[in-house]
Amino acid sequence: MSIQLRHTLRQALATSDRPLFGGWITTGSPVVAEIMAGSGLDWVMIDMEHAPNGLESVLAQLYSVSSYRVTPVVRVPASETVIIKQVLDLGAQTILVPMVSTVEQAREVAEAALYPPRGRRGVGSALARSARWNRVDDYLNNSADHVSVFVQIETAEGVDNAVAIAQTAGIDGIFVGPSDLAASMGLLGQQNHPDVVAAVKDTFVRVASTGKPVGVNAFDPQHADAYVKDGADFLLVGADAALLARGSEALADRYIDSSPQPASVSY
């Protein structure tokens, strides 16, 4: 018996003739993950860095999106070898690693996702969903074909090192995080500040020179459109929690704030 695995984000980007648009899943809910997966978006990011997710909830969300055409990405909470191994063993085929600012950090991330002799990933595929419990032919020797690794540039130092980070063997692409980039530039909470936008565009140019894909987080439609024109290959354009918050607020504005309030009753 042989099982074929789904495509990675690397493969999805390589075969697309347009930028790929994704949604951020932060609620930790498999139901919400499935709703997002069925929306028509190209990819979804199951987040472990800023969301209440552990291994069990990530696994449940990977199951819930697996029947849809969407490409799932799991963002691990940190560039730690054990966490990367565990998330890959869950069957995540694309991981995103935050806060990578140097070549040394990028190299450590890449090695954590590769089996020896190329890397340090622990061998447990016979017991793991990653190889579908040894139902994927020759998974150990071909695992690099089934896994893609993207890293986030989120600091001014990372922008300076963007070319070398992107060129690191085993790194498939770069994702820019404007919020933390703004913080590192002394502009906390100002991810749309002109200096931050300029740094994002600078990163695009640097990464594009290496031939690797580059993406960005951009919830504001105007900024998302501008980043597409500036060369973004993939974007996060919304998050489940934000969509629910803004949508429920719109309901309240429509049906409560603008409606006459009932008179209070005295007894």
Q: Which long-range contacts (CB under 8 A, 24 or more apart) does 217-222 make?
A: 217/24, 217/175, 217/176, 217/177, 217/178, 217/179, 218/178, 220/192
Helices (H), 125-234: 139-146, 156-160, 162-167, 178-184, 194-208, 221-229
Total residues found in the chain within this entry? 267
Active site residue 146: no
How much is the CA Rg of the chain, to the nearest whole Å?
A: 20
Cα angle at 203 between 167 and 161, to 5 degrees? 50
Query: Which of 7, 50, 193, 223 is the catalytic position?
Result: 50
User: Which residues are tagged catalytic?
Assistant: 50
